Amino acid sequence: MASPYRWSAFLACILASIGSAQTLREAADHAGVLIGTAVRPSQFSETRYASVLAREFNMVEPEDALKWWVLRPDRRTYDFRAGDEVVHFAQTHQMKVRGHCLVWGRDNPDWLAKGHFTSRQLSHLLRDHISRVMKHYAGEVFAWDVVNEALDESGKPRDSIWYDQPGIGFAGKGTEYIEQLFRWAHKADPHALLFYNEAEGETLNRKSDAIYAMVKNFKKSGVPIDGVGLQMHISTDIDVESMTAAVSANIARLAALGVQIHVTELDVSVRVDSSGVASLDDLNRQAEVYRGVVRACLQNPGCTAIQTWGFTDKYSWIRSHSRGTRGQALFFDRDYQPKPSYRAVRDELSRDRLLKH
Ligand code: 9MR
């Protein structure tokens, strides 16, 4: 049995180590996981935005700057300015860059969505897009969401311009078109990690079953897929324990296929009043939800990144999306003050490091 001295030395070491992680970034570095956030380059000139971002995170992902509607104002133009700003910021502050997203059936520019292109034309357009964008950022963007939200709630491919309306030539053939996209992406930048990114497939349900089956099939047939992105736009209206267990089980089965898992768009919305204010109880509850997600990720070495969808409640898609009924979903309030969720995640990241030693 260990002597009382050894126990107290061990405890002192634990306490000292917990106290030593001053930032999320420090805690994540020691836990061996990336901590990222979605960013809007138009905000980089705001001093507090830039300093909190650089201090707390070691990875960024452009929230919109690499989407078709920003990159491709018209059929012939590639406008890399906003994306380049994100890469420049990241390089200045020694952060990694995740790319989001090369292929999405939604929110495409009108010239594309309403252009009445043939399958053949779409196939050329998309292949060229993937190739030009990935080559532009080769060596700078380490991982890409090649395909975003291609499956519906039942796990079937969603109708989309790329799949079947009219699609790039694989309409009615299930996930074969996705396979093609990963092959094109690998060709464009063989060093980038290639992810399939999806919403509402974090726990065990029909959609996550379909993602699992797709990845298994891709791995079997040599399709170059490296990871799955679990978006995790969640709320406080859940049972934290069962969510944590289900996310952990989902991560474990995906990791067993030999892919990495990134939590890609984490935010935890809470009810807010008409002035956008949440109760302290709800913010504490939110902290426990965040803690559960971090715990689920750190339980499996295959989960290598945790990224939130923004970091300050000043800029978050949740309020407008919920028509003002929900908000305050992130780590920092509108004045960049850390919330209970921030402390919970920093502690959880620090704790894991200790248990591993
Ligand atoms: O937060 C993003 C918002 O600024 C954009 O207007 C919108 C459309 O491009 O996309 C939002 O981000 C989405 C992400 O790209 C994919 N998963 C869901 C996110 C929230 O809608």
pLDDT, position 11: 47
Nearest CA to ligand 1 atom 13: 63
pLDDT, position 129: 98
pLDDT above 50: residue 245: yes
Quote helix, strand, coil % in the chain, to nearest 5.
45, 20, 35
pLDDT above 70: residue 262: yes
> 345: number of CA atoms within 13 Å, CB side?
33
Please list every protein residue whose CB sits less than 6 Å from any atom of ligand 1: 63-64, 67, 107, 148, 199, 231, 265, 317
For residue 15, what pLDDT band results from cuts at 50, 70 and 90? Answer: very low
| Residue type present at position 271 | R
Beta-strand ranges (E) seen in the chain are: 34-39, 59-62, 96-104, 141-148, 193-198, 227-230, 233-235, 260-271, 303-308, 326-327
For residue 147, what pLDDT band results from cuts at 50, 70 and 90? Answer: very high
Decide: helix, strand or coil at residue 34.
Answer: strand
Nearest CA to ligand 1 atom 12: 63
Average pLDDT over residues 183-201: 99
**Sign, CA torsion 231/235/238/244:** positive
Nearest CA to ligand 1 atom 14: 63
Are the CB atoms for 60 and 100 separated by under 8 Å? no
17-21, 40-44, 62-66, 95-99 — which is least confidently predicted?
17-21
How many angstroms separate the CA atoms of 52 and 309, rounded? 15
Could you give the C-alpha distances from 108 to 16, 19, 74, 115, 134, in angstroms and in order?
50, 46, 11, 11, 18
CA of 64 to the centre of ligand 1 (A): 7
For residue 19, what pLDDT band results from cuts at 50, 70 and 90? Answer: low
Q: 248-286 in b/e burial notation, b at 16+ Cβ within 10 A? A: bbbbeebbebebbbbbbbbbbbbebeeeeebeeebbebb
| Token representation of residue 307 | 């990224």
Angle at 169 between CA 165 and CA 173, to 5 degrees: 85
pLDDT, position 351: 87
What does pTM read for this prediction? 0.94
pLDDT above 60: residue 342: yes
pLDDT above 80: residue 356: no
How many angstroms separate the CA atoms of 210 and 151, rounded? 8
Superfamily classification of domain 58-230: Glycosidases (3.20.20.80)
CA of 242 to the centre of ligand 1 (A): 27
Average pLDDT over residues 325-345: 97
Catalytic residues: 149, 265
For residue 4, what pLDDT band results from cuts at 50, 70 and 90? Answer: very low
CA of 57 to the centre of ligand 1 (A): 20
pLDDT above 90: residue 17: no
- Averaged pLDDT of the chain: 94
How many angstroms separate the CA atoms of 131 and 67, rounded? 14
Q: Which atom of ligand 1 is nearest to the CA of 199?
A: 17
Counting residues of the chain whose pLDDT is more than 90, the rounded percentage is 92
Per-residue pLDDT of 298-314, as tens digits, reads 999 999 999 999 999 99
Q: 């992406």: which residue's tokens?
A: 185
**Sign, CA torsion 99/204/29/26:** positive
pLDDT, position 21: 87
Q: Which atom of ligand 1 is nearest to the CA of 309?
A: 1
Task: Return the closest-CA partner of residue 350 out of 12, 30, 16, 1.
Answer: 30
CA of 293 to the centre of ligand 1 (A): 21
Task: Return the closest-CA partner of residue 326 out of 279, 272, 251.
Answer: 272
Rg (CA), the chain: 21
Burial of 225 (C-beta count, 10 Å sphere; 0-12/13-18/19+): buried
Phi, psi for residue 306 in degrees, rounded to 5: -125, 120
Per-residue pLDDT of 110-140, as tens digits, reads 999 999 999 999 999 999 999 999 999 999 9
pLDDT above 60: residue 16: no
Task: Return the closest-CA partner of residue 98 out of 36, 188, 32, 190.
Answer: 36
How many angstroms separate the CA atoms of 234 and 232, rounded? 5
- CB under 8 Å to 106, separation ≥6 — which residues? 149, 160
Question: For 192, which DSSP code?
Answer: S
